[in-house]
């Protein structure tokens, strides 16, 4: 009996070590036109060119202090069969643009092992990816922007108008990250939305990401 109690205590200690606490998630959506129209190498996945829509970059646990945990459980590997029912949605909504062209498994493996393992106290592997898919559908950012006259047409828009439109759509201010194209134009690149630890509700960001944008940014075609 004593031996069993010791083993149980060690298991509990290990669980506490790998399931690190966190305060909120950044849910990060990426505009593929800006990714491809920059110094990044851009390759379409083996399933073909993704839709001209924001793609999920990740669901990242963060601390209110501004830091974040990562690679919390090296024994928790991405297992494709655990998300087999989500695969078609992942390919469509969480696509990879890295080169060489691939099926996305390396991307999802990276996101799970670096970020998802730090949220295992709240979400198992299937729940983690399913939560990301549901959050993207809930945000529906491209629809909100187009309805406000902000379109991916290579034109320039006021950054404050983009922020206002997204805030009105989800109820909370977003973080905006821009990049530079080869002509040094500031482009709309990534949108950061803050989410509670259950990964189900948008919240006010405890801390904004360190993204820089000009006052006017290009919304590039894809």
Q: Can you name the residues that pair with 188 across neighbouring β-strands?
A: 178
Judge contact between 6 and 45, C-beta under 8 A: no
Q: Is 184 marked active-site?
A: no
The angle formed by the CA atoms of residues 203, 147 and 169, to the nearest 5 degrees, is: 10
Residue 59 has phi, psi (to 5 degrees) of -125, 105
Instruction: List the alpha helices (DSSP H) in the chain.
Output: 2-18, 32-36, 87-93, 105-114, 125-139, 141-147, 159-170
Give the active site residue among 40, 80, 110, 111: 111
Please tell me whether residue 122 adopts helix, strand or coil conformation.
coil
Q: Which two tokens stand for residue 62?
A: 């963060």
Q: Is 111 marked active-site?
A: yes
Give the active site residue among 40, 80, 110, 115: 115
Residue 145 has phi, psi (to 5 degrees) of -65, -45
Please tell me whether residue 143 adopts helix, strand or coil conformation.
helix
DSSP string, 193-218: EEE-TTSSSB---SS-------SEEE
Q: Which two tokens stand for residue 197?
A: 């630890």
Judge contact between 45 and 102, C-beta under 8 A: yes
Q: Annotated active-site positions, please?
A: 57, 111, 115
């Amino acid at each position: 009996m004593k031996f069993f109690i010791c083993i149980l205590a060690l298991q509990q200690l290990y669980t506490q070590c790998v399931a690190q606490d966190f305060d909120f998630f950044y849910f990060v959506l990426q505009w593929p036109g800006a990714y491809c129209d920059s110094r990044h190498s851009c390759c379409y996945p083996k399933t073909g060119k993704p839709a001209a829509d924001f793609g999920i970059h990740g669901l990242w646990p963060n601390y209110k202090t501004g830091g974040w945990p990562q690679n919390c459980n090296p024994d928790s590997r991405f297992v494709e069969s655990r998300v087999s029912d989500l695969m078609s949605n992942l390919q469509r909504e969480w696509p990879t643009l890295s080169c060489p062209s691939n099926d996305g498994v390396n991307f999802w493996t990276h996101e799970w092992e670096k970020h998802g393992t730090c949220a295992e106290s709240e979400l198992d592997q299937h729940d983690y990816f399913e939560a990301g898919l549901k959050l993207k559908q809930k945000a529906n950012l491209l629809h909100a922007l187009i309805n406000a006259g902000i379109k991916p047409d290579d034109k320039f828009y006021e950054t404050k108008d983009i922020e206002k439109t997204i805030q009105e759509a989800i109820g909370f201010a977003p973080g905006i990250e821009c990049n530079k194209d080869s002509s040094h134009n500031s482009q709309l690149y990534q949108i950061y939305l803050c989410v509670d630890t259950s990964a189900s509700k948008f919240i006010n960001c405890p801390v904004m990401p360190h993204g820089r944008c000009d006052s006017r940014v290009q919304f590039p075609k894809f």
